[in-house]
Structure 1
């Protein structure tokens, strides 16, 4: 092969490599510039840093988890993106095990920014539809909209004294042990259609400002709704309550619907108040009703 042909081939290879690197650099530059324009020219985390943090996080590296948290601290506009990224991982498979240190670390980092305190990120939504959560504890947290549609809670799930300022959805969620909503506040509506509670459901003192859509809920253990308050219509139709059902001092400001529900255990409705229409058509009681 002539020497000049060999040198020509080498030059073409070098040129191709240079062009490829230039295009990659140009793409990163454009993305960074786009990010600056979207934030009004303020300081932003370079797109390359955001991508690297996501890459490390998806690989299960703790460095990626901490880097995402640092981005959220420095840039409030990226906080919801960070929360969404963490929750996306919890919606994923269980290849690392349900009780692995990794899954626990992600949940702990997430909750640390949802509970008022030194590192609190206000106004965060919690889009956790389909998530698998282990011993999840949002007690005392203050969040915007929450979506746990189809989520699976392994171990106890705690939401005591939680404040939800947006809509709350637990439709089709499965709680494999006890669920605690004591003194939780839902500033808008609450929906838990066809939710399944394998253990006890503690809702004493819970407040729902809007509608409570709880049709076809199944609770195997005890349900405690003492001192609960529902500002809108409350729909418990087609429900199943396997243990004792406590409604003492509960307040329903509008309609309360229990049609076709089955109360298998003792039912206590002492001092319960219903401001609208009360519907109990075809309700079944397995034990005595205490008033």
Structure 2
């Protein structure tokens, strides 16, 4: 029986490998043709060897015009010229920043985000070390889960739909200051290798930093959470600042470890909370904090 199964598996495996190699070859040929064709349009029909500058300009022109080929052309430039990858990422992010003259155009934004994330998540087409700098961006159902990036600056960004950063690794500083999360925000198991700030952020739904790790400071000052805030199992190596935060729903801090100071001055816990169960290594400050419901006492 085993021998019979093996006789079938070997030719099937060979066929799959051949198909996979063929698909990759076709993709490369098409990509190279796309690069050459659009570059020739830019520099003239008689051009035989378009310059890298003309290719870059043509890709940007098409992309700014909302042409899907421009999006793919930029991706191919990033694949072939690694030193331009951050430029490509910055170009995509620039398209997601600020207002849109013809409306939200959610489908186009999803296409750009999908291409962007495809290069930020470890795998065959991964571009390591990319910074995600897009203050004021409008992001639709943004999902950076499982990605590995450098610095993140999404200050003032607007997240339409759910925002997902589950198991994301951020090796630089991360800023979500004054960002608006119009639905749920998921940062479960995220790793911030440096500092992270959510100061003045507004969460219309639930926010989860369950089992999150912050290697330096965590700043959530003056943030507003309408739904449930779940920090269960999180660990913050530096100081944690929750001053003036307004927790509208349940605020969960079970098994949280704050290795240094944790400040909750003027915080307002309108829902049930177990903040007393958090382990705080140094100073715990709750001056003028308000509790809308009973706070369970810490065990032990």
What's the TM-score once normalised by structure 1's chain length? 0.83
Alignment of 1:1-291 (within 5 A): 46-98=52-104, 100-269=106-275, 271-291=277-297
**How many angstroms apart in 2 are the aligned matches of 1:158 and 1:221?**
16
Structure 2 Cα separation of the partners of residues 149 and 168 of structure 1: 9
In 1: Cα distance, 2:252 partner to 2:226 partner: 14
* Runs ≥4 residues deviating over 6 A: none
Paired with 1:95 and 1:177, the residues of 2 have a C-alpha distance of 24
SS at match of 2:159: strand
Is there any run of 5+ residues in structure 2 with no aligned partner, and where?
1-42, 44-49
**Which secondary structure state, in structure 2, belongs to the residue aligned with residue 289 of structure 1?**
coil
SS of the aligned residue for 1:153 comes to: strand
Q: Check conservation: 2:167, 2:189, Cα contact below 8 A.
A: yes
State the alpha-carbon separation in 1 of the partners of residues 287 and 98 from structure 2.
Answer: 42
Query: In 2, Cα distance between the equivalents of 1:63 and 1:97?
Result: 21
Residue aligned with 1:65, SS: helix
* 2:106–2:140 Cα contact (<8 Å) kept: no
Query: Which one has the largest radius of gyration?
Result: 1
CA distance in 2, matches of 1:274, 1:128: 34
What number of residue pairs does the alignment pair up? Answer: 249
CA shift, 1:45, in A, is 6.1
8 Å CA contact 1:45, 1:71 repeated in 2:
no
Q: CA separation in 2, counterparts of 1:281 and 1:270? A: 14
Q: Do the aligned residues in 2 keep the contact of 1:99 with 1:134 (CA within 8 Å)?
A: no
Deviations 1:168-200 (A, max 9, x none): 001110000000000000000001110110100
Change (3 A) 1:276 1:53: same
Q: Distance in 1 between matches of 2:102 and 2:114?
A: 16
The gaps in structure 1 that reach 5 residues or longer are 1-27, 29-43
Secondary structure in structure 1 of the residue aligned to 2:216:
coil
Alpha-carbon distance in structure 1 between the residues aligned to 2:51 and 2:149: 25
> How far apart, in 2, do the equivalents of 1:221 and 1:290 lie?
20
Q: Deviations over 1:255-278 (max 9, x none)?
A: 000000100000113642000100
Partner of residue 24, structure 2:
none
Asked if the contact 1:249/1:270 (under 8 Å) is kept, the reply is no
